[in-house]
Structures are given as C-alpha cells and as structure tokens.
Amino acid sequence: MASETPLLKRLLGVDQRVFWALGLVLLVAPVFTVESYRLFQLTLAAIYAIAILGLNIITGYNGQISLGHGAFYAVGAYVAAIMMDKMGLPYWSTLPAAAVICGLVGFGIGFPALRLGGLYLALTTFSLAVAVPQLLKYKGIEQWTGGVQGVLVFKPDAPFGLPLSSDQYMYLFTLAMAVLVFVLVRNLMASRIGRAIMAIRDHGLAAEAMGMDIARLKTNTFAVSAMITGLAGALSAIAVEFVSPDSFSVNLSITLFVGMVVGGVASIIGPVFGGLFVVFVPNLAEEISKAAPGVIYGFILILFLFVLPGGVAGLLRRLVARLLR
Amino acid sequence: MSAVAGALLEVRDIVIRFGGVTAVGGVSFDVGHQQICGLIGPNGAGKTSLFNCISGFYRPSEGEIRLEGQRISDLPRHRMMGLGIGRTFQNLALFRSMTVRQNVLAGAHCQGRAGFLAAALRLPASRREAAEAEERARALLALLDLEQFAEVPVAGLPFGWQKRVELARALISQPKLLLLDEPAGGLNHAEVDALAELFHAIRRNFELSILLVEHHMNLVMRVSDKVVALNFGKKIADGTPEEVRATPEVVSAYLGEHAHAA
C-alpha cells in the first residue's frame, strides 16, 4: 500500500520538521567544512540572495521592472559603513537603520516613478543606478562617505566568546538574517497583500475592481523591496569590510537582475540560486578562460536560460510536481 | 439596514460623452434590493458605457449614481468593492498566473485589514482574517462546482469555467450589488441554462441585487425582475420583462422597423 504513494509524498508524510532540520544542517555545515575564502563567498551569495529577493518582490511579483536596485544596495552599505566607522555604532544596529532609510528612499522614489510604469520605470531606476556612484563621490559629503576612497570597516568578532573565526561568525550571522528575511517575505507573499501584489501585475483593472488601491500598493511594495535590498547592502559592507563608490556601479544592478532571472522570477527560493549564480559563475568563467571570462559568463548565462526556462525555481517546481504525482 | 425602504442603486440623469460623441444621454433607473435587473439594447446603445460608469470605471459627464443613498459616481474605482459593488468583466479579467483559489481569495482583498507588517509577521489578527477568507473561498468553490480546479492555474481552464471563477471572485466579498457584463457571452446553450438557475441561487444565498448587461435576450427575459432597454444612449423602456417586450420602441430597435417607432 505504501509503495503505491509516490516517493516525495511518502517523505513529506514522515514529518515536515525533518526537512527543516535537514535544510538547516545543510546551511550550517559549510561553517565547519569549508575554508575561509569559500565561506566568505557563501556569505556573499547569501547577501546577494537577500538583495535579489528584494528585487524579485517589485519586479518578479509586482511586475515593475527595476534596473536600479544596486542604488538601494549602495545606500544600505554606506549607511552601515558610516554608522560603524564615523559614529562608532555596533554592526547589528546598522541593519534596521539601513532597512528603514532604504525603505524611505524607496518610498520617495517609488511614489512618482511608479506612476510611469513599464519601460519608463525601468529607465528611471536605471538612471538612479547611474547617478548613485557619482553622488557618493560628491565633495560636500566627503567627510561621511570618504569620497573616492570609500570607508573601511571591520568585521565583528564572534560574540559571547564563541570559538568561531570572524568569517565563520559572519557567515552564520548573514545566514540567520537571510532565513529571517526569506521567512517574512514568504509569509507576506502568501497573504492578502502578496495576492494583491501579484494581482496588480496580472491585471491592473481587475485588481482595482477587487478594491486594490494600485498606486498605494505599488509604492509600498517598492519601499519594501528597496528596504530588503538595502538591508543586504548593509550586510555586504560588514562582510566585505569596505565600501567605495565603484563597488556599486550600474553593473551591480544588472547583476541583481541577472540573479533574479536565473534563480526564477516571482519565486521565493529562486533568489537563493540567483545569489549562488552571481557569486560563483563569474569565478568559474574566470577559471575556464582568463582571456575572455565575459564570453564564458555570457555563454553560461544563455545556456541557463535555454535549459532552465523559469529559472532554477521553475525546474524545482517541475520536479516537485513530478514527484508528487 | 435602514436603506431597505429606497432603491439599492439609483442612476440619475447620467450623461456620458467621449469627446463630441454622446454615448449615454440622460438615463435614469433604479435597481431595488434583491432585484435582478437586465440592461439591454442593440449594439452601440450605451449599455457598456453605462455599466462602466456604475462600476466606477468611467466618470459620468453629468448626473449621479447613488448606492443606498450614498453618492458613488465621483469615488475612485478601487472603493467600489468596499462599498458593496462586485463585478465581472465582458472579456475575462482574471489574474492569469494565479490558481483558481488564489483568484477567488483576491476578491476578498477589501475585507482584510492586515498590512505589510502584519502579514509578514503573521500576527494573530492577520491569521484570523486569512482563515475567514479561506473558509468563504471554500464555500464558494463548492457552490460553483470549482473545487476540483481549486489548485489549477486559472489560465488553463476552459472559458466557461473561467467565467465561474470570476463570479466566485466577485461574490466572495459579499457585495450588495453584483454587476455582470455579458455573463452569457461565449457560453453554449446548456451553460446558459445553468447560468439562469445559478443567478437565482446566488440571489437566494447572498441576498444581493444583480445588474446584468446581456445580449442573450432569452436569458435576460427569463431571469430578470425588471428590464431597462436603451437605444442610442436613451432609455426606451423600463419595466417587467413582459412590459418591455411589448414596448413598440424595443421591438423596432431590435427588428429595425423604424415605422413602428412613435
């Protein structure tokens, strides 16, 4: 009798907690099995995953194309760096501050920009990404931003005398933040607000007929999206121990966009793979060809899009559907 | 509560102009509580313009529309459902990437209060209202025979079933007035018959009024308590189906016999 039920259903029947525990072990394992530089890369991947999740909320779920999320990442990173270096505040306090500030900036930009919509919004956000690195170099704020030099900060040591290196601690700290953000976003997207966000993307007119205030919902969604990407930026400043205008070029915004598409548009789990992709695939390309890593990267990217329409998340969805059948 | 005395919907002297063209030229009528009202007329009579005005998608150039005595004709369209006006669309307007259940739940949007934070944190109030909406969605899916499709992406359903999903989506918010834009359009004979019964069942179960714009004369005459006929943007008849059918202007509007028109 049991043999008739498909494998995955049987496994799921065992106990959901088993899966959660397994997942957690898988996530924590690198702390003890992976050398320090790889661990740093995994930390970065987790940070990018958060940033891409933020982008996915507005672009994937709400259908508003943003080509400028790197700007929010940059603002978050600078908020963290300035708070730590110039104000001597603890690293953890920079995260809520960066989130709130980026949320407000996102709200301020989203309010007028989202009335444009479509390609115009894409260009507006793109111009933001172009402008931000130069704004960060502006002389008038140099005492805070360090101008072209940027700001140096230091990774925190593990607290409570835990026997962990700062790399190990940073990985675990980032991981905890990522899990928190992903769970919150998953809850959000499964709620009435999440349905409204998707409904607006699918059919604006019908969404209005369902009582959804489109302008307000879009603006708030943009703010939340900017908030999450900004939080990732703050984490990156702490993990990389350095911010400078040139680390946040237009390229960063495009990188986040690529990660979103590769991982899976409008998916919660997708950004995890997007984060891994944007951190590790450029390295892989470099290993394959020192002379033309860009060509290899482009090739791998196109290969991905061909083999995995719907991104990695799309593949997972199809696999699960097959196993459940 | 107190409004039972007057009409549910009062349409007063509505004029709708597009540029220099007058689509609707001063139409008034009422829809009573728990009444099914059919809005008919030949192509270009102004039915759809009027319908879009009542559902808040157009602003009337002149005149006003009241629901339970409250003027609604200058409110933004996303307020309509909250006030108790649900609608369906002529050419399906479903949320295509979402499942049938999600579509129906989206209709319950304005009954929820939970904002971004409450939803993300799954606060007790937000969980409670979500559970209530789920329960209503379950009941509606059962009523409309949609249970077997609940988790299917709505885009994959046959046309007639998609129309049912729209109906469920409009009903979940328990509107006082249900606006149906050509509900029988694109349906076959058997489906139209089922629809007539469905409307009566809906009125019984939800204690609401229905205003339908429809070409399918047979359906309108069968289900309506009253019928309003338009032609060239003017009301030419208003009464029971029998009365309207007997009006010479209606006959000539449909048969093109101008000689009869007085």
**pLDDT tens digit sequence for B50-108:** 999 999 989 999 999 999 999 999 999 999 999 999 999 988 999 999 999 999 999 99
- Per-residue pLDDT at B260: 46
Flag whether B22 is in a domain.
Answer: yes
Find chain A residues with C-beta within 8 A of B80's C-beta: 209, 211
- Examine residue B181 and state whether it is found in any structural domain, yes or no: yes
In a domain, B262, yes or no: no
pLDDT tens for B134-191 read: 999 999 999 899 999 999 999 999 988 999 999 999 999 999 999 999 988 888 888 8
Q: How high is the pLDDT of residue A2?
A: 42
* Any domain includes A196: yes
The per-residue pLDDT for range A271-294, each reduced to its tens digit, is 999 999 999 988 888 888 888 888
Strand partners, B71: B66
- Residues A17-30 pLDDT 10s: 787 888 888 888 88
pLDDT tens digits along A80-100: 999 998 898 999 999 999 999
Task: Tell me whether residue A94 is in a domain.
Answer: yes
pLDDT (0 to 100) of residue A36: 85
Is A15 in the same domain as A107? Answer: no
Residue A152: pLDDT band (50, 70, 90) is confident
A155's CB contacts (< 8 A; 6+ apart) are A166, A167, A170, A238, A239, A241
Which residues, in sequence order, are CB contacts of A126 under 8 Å at separation 6+?
A: A67, A68, A250, A253
- Does the beta-carbon distance from B116 to A194 stay under 8 Å? no
Task: Tally the domains of chain B.
Answer: 1
Asked whether B162 and B88 are in contact (CB, 8 A), the reply is: no
In a domain, B243, yes or no: yes
Q: Which chain B residues are within 8 Å of A194, Cβ to Cβ?
A: 119
- Asked whether residue A54 is domain-assigned, the answer is yes
Last residue of a domain, one of A219, A249, A279: A249
For B151-177, b/e burial (b = at least 16 CB within 10 A) is eeebeebeeebbbbbbbbbbbbbebbb
pLDDT at B11 over 90: yes
Residue A9 has pLDDT above 80, yes or no: no
Is A197's pLDDT higher than 90?
yes
The residue among A257, A273, A251, A315 whose CA lies nearest residue A54 is A257
What is the average pLDDT score of chain B? 90
Residue A299, domain member (yes or no): no
- Same domain, yes or no: A1 and A145: no
Residue A193 lies in a domain: yes
CB contact B80 to A (< 8 Å): yes
Same domain, A15 and A98: no
The pLDDT assigned to B250 comes to 86
For B95, the closest of A188, A191, A198 (CB atoms) is A198
- Domain edge (last residue) among A228, A249, A270: A249
Query: Cβ of A283 under 8 Å from any chain B Cβ?
Result: no
Residues 6+ positions from A307 with CB-CB distance below 8 Å: none
User: What are the chain A neighbours of B93 within 8 Å (beta carbons)?
Assistant: 203, 205-206, 209
Residues A62, A154 within the same domain: yes
Q: Which residues of A touch B112 (CB under 8 A)?
A: 192
Mark yes or no for CB contact B109/A212 under 8 Å.
yes
Q: What is the tens place of the pLDDT at every residue in A219-271?
A: 999 999 999 999 999 999 999 999 999 899 999 999 999 999 999 999 999 99
* pLDDT the model gives residue B153: 92
Is A188 in a helix, a strand, or coil? helix
Same domain, A27 and A81: no
| Other Cβ atoms closer than 10 A to B66 | 17
CA A166 to chain centre: 22
Residue of B97, B180, B181 to mutate when probing chain A, most A C-beta within 10 A: B97
| B260 part of a folded domain | no
Q: Is position B261 within any domain?
A: no
Same domain, A113 and A192: yes
Per-residue tokens: A266? 């409008």
Tokens describing residue A84: 């730590």
**A90 in a domain, yes or no?**
yes
Residue A10 covered by a domain: yes
Q: Which of A191, A216, A249 marks a domain boundary? A: A249
Domain that holds residue A18: 1-33
**How high is the ipTM of this complex?**
0.88
Query: Whole domain around residue B217: which residue ranges?
Result: 2-255
Instruction: Let me know whether A94 and A200 are in one domain.
Output: yes
CA A10 from chain centre, in angstroms, equals: 33
**Most B-contacting residue of A185, A195, A212, A324 (CB-CB within 10 A), to test interface:** A195
> Is the same domain home to A43 and A173?
yes
**Cα nearest neighbour of B78 on chain A:** A211
Eight-class DSSP state of A149? G
Give the pLDDT of residue A187.
94
Interface test with A, best of B89, B116, B174 (most A CBs within 10 A): B116
Residue B178 lies in a domain: yes
Query: A50 in a domain, yes or no?
Result: yes
Which chain A residue has its CA at the smallest distance from B99's CA?
A195
Q: What's the mean pLDDT when you consider all of chain A?
A: 89
In the predicted structure, residue B3 carries a pLDDT above the cut 50: no
Helix residue ranges, H only, A267-310: 270-288, 293-307
Torsion of CA A235, A239, A243, A249, to 10 degrees: -70
Whether A168 and A153 share a structural domain: yes
**Number of domains, chain A:** 2
Pick the more confident residue, A231 or A118: A231
- Spell out which residues of chain A touch residue B82, defining contact as CB-CB under 8 Å: 211
Look at A192 and B121 and tell me if their CB atoms are within 8 Å: no
Is any Cβ of chain A less than 8 angstroms from the Cβ of B173? yes
Same domain, A29 and A48: no
Are A106 and A66 contained in the same domain?
A: yes
Looking at the fold, whether A29 and A134 belong to one and the same domain comes out as no
Any chain B CB within 8 A of the CB of A192?
A: yes
> Which tokens belong to A163?
């026997």
CATH of the domain at B92: 3.40.50.300
